[in-house]
Amino acid sequence: MKRHICTIILLFCSCLTPATSSTQPASSNELAIVGGQLVDGFGGKPLQNSVILVRDNRIVAVGKVGVLDIPESAKVIDSNGMTVIPGLWESHGHLMHVGEGDPGEFPANFAARANEVMSAVAKISLLSGITTFRDTGGPIEPQLALREEIESGKKIGPRLLFAGPILKQSKPGASAKGNPFLINSVKTARQATAKVIALGVDQIKVYGFWDLEILQAVTSTAHAAGLGVDADLRHILAYRTAVEAGVDRMHHVFTADALSDYDAEDIRLLIRGIKPSAAGPMANILRGPYIVPTIEMRQAYVRVFNFPELLDDPRLAAQYPPDVYTHLRETWVNPPSVPWGIGAPERVKVAKAKLKRFIEAGGREQIVAGTDAGAPFNLHSPLTRELQNLHQSGLTAMEVIQSATLRPAQMQGLEQELGTVTAGKLADMVIVDGDPLQDISLLQHKIVMVIKNGQTFPINHLPALGKSHIARQEFR
């Protein structure tokens, strides 16, 4: 009996994120993704001629063509010649930043437009293959409102996980009065952490240098509430304190602190931790904290320095409201003057070399892909370029995929629901034209469909070229 395959758009991807796609997702109570290679996220041998059955928003069965029956009522997606992987995670991004050169001012200047700006970023991210987005610091109330709109189907975007206000320790002798999230004692650490938790966040974010006992008060309060702690740190001394305090995830490691040296004991500390255990609910059992290198945060400067024409791409202008894009152009007039860009080419080389040492010393299972998306020149979405950075630094292609699928789900404590293509889990997947295990850059150029929560989003990368070529096939 003949079965018609649903149409999927097979087009090319630009170096930027896709400008457009179907604004309305296709939905069906039953889906069958048939014929392609499945990389399920666990790291084993890929399954050829796979069949993945989805009902509503769950994966209900995984098998092979000719073995697993396909329901007559299912909408069939032909994945022959392609690879299916779990939905990707952006583990360090900012919805309220778009790559502007004045990140300290932009959120305040556009506070009244927060929903509009973040909605644009959410759409760009989903259509880049990101089905889960961890925002590591931003305005929590509009973020929660956007999440509700996405979950209700009013807008499209990834699953959103928030940190809310960022906790900082005040400088010695400085007062924390008037700022509930600026901490100067163990007591205020517990109070501030509890206040952030009460906002409904999914993780706690800390920044800067900390006294050990004060940071321990933050982590213990967060862990008691079932939340993990992310640390945005920029010096090896701060990393040492964070490991001892029980921080669960450390960001910008090797990148922000690229020019300082790491001896063998520093590397060992990051890999094994002080007391490796599962004490923190999001801890990597028997290892140190998860590491989010964010090399692309620094690489973004190099890209713009070498190719400033990138900022004139009309597809970039089409992604945002006109006044937002105008603001971006005004803050990009002199790229070398933007903070953190000085010495970027050499810093990237050094960061990759240090990450390679860390991987070779045994830290490969701790690496999680995150980019600081939205930081200066770091245009949404840079995740697939970060995956190439991780591959160049020593992760295998399979490990690279796990760094953006399985590992972040484990890190977040959501591995029972997300992170792999497994029966019973939520139906988040990406279909790639070709084999990313042989060429990881295909994730940047050849994503043809995103499936999030059982809904399909065909990707159209070249809208200006006229009507898309639609291929229809038959399955017997």
Q: What is the DSSP string of 10-79?
A: -----SS--SEE-SS-B--SEEEEESSEE--SSSSPPBSSEEEEEETTEEEEEEETTTS---TTSEEEE-
- Per residue in 396-434, pLDDT (tens digit) is 999 999 999 999 999 999 999 999 999 999 999 999 999
At 13 the pLDDT is 34
DSSP annotation of 373 reads: B
Mean pLDDT of all residues in 190-216: 97
* pTM metric for this prediction: 0.89
pLDDT classification of 175: cutoffs 50, 70, 90? low
Question: What domains can you pick out in the chain, each with its CATH number?
Answer: 3-87+419-475 (2.30.40.10), 89-300+337-412 (3.20.20.140)
Per-residue pLDDT tens over the stretch 356-383: 999 999 999 999 999 999 999 999 999 9
Tell me which H or E stretch contains 196. helix 186-198
Residues 220-231: tens digit of each pLDDT? 999 999 999 999
- pLDDT, tens digit, for every residue of 304-356? 989 988 888 888 899 999 999 999 989 988 887 887 788 888 889 999 999 99
The pLDDT-based confidence of 28 (bands split at 50, 70, 90) is: low
Distance CA 223, CA 211 (A): 18
Relative to beta strand 455-460, strand 447-452 is antiparallel
Residue 134 above 90 pLDDT?
yes
Give the whole-angstrom CA distance, residue 304 versus residue 302. Answer: 6
Taking alpha carbons only, the member of 381, 472, 399 closest to residue 19 is 381
DSSP element (H, E) containing 307: none
Give tens-digit pLDDT for 78-111. 999 999 999 999 999 999 999 999 999 999 999 9
Tokens at residue 19, please?
């400008």
pLDDT, residue 220, reads 97
**Secondary structure class of 455 (helix, strand, coil):** strand
Cα–Cα distance, 114 to 102 (Å, whole number):
16
User: Region 73-80: what's the mean pLDDT?
Assistant: 95
* Contact status, residue 77 vs residue 3, Cβ threshold 8 Å: no
Q: Is the pLDDT of residue 275 over 80?
A: no
At residue 383, the pLDDT reads 98
Task: Name the one residue in this structure whose structure tokens are 């404590």.
Answer: 413
- Cβ-in-10-Å burial (0-12, 13-18, 19+) of 260 comes to middle
Residues 281, 249: contact at Cβ < 8 Å? no
Q: Please list, in sequence order, all residues whose beta carbon lies within 8 angstroms of the beta carbon of residue 312, skipping any fewer than 6 positions away.
A: none
CA–CA dist 417, 383 (Å, integer):
22
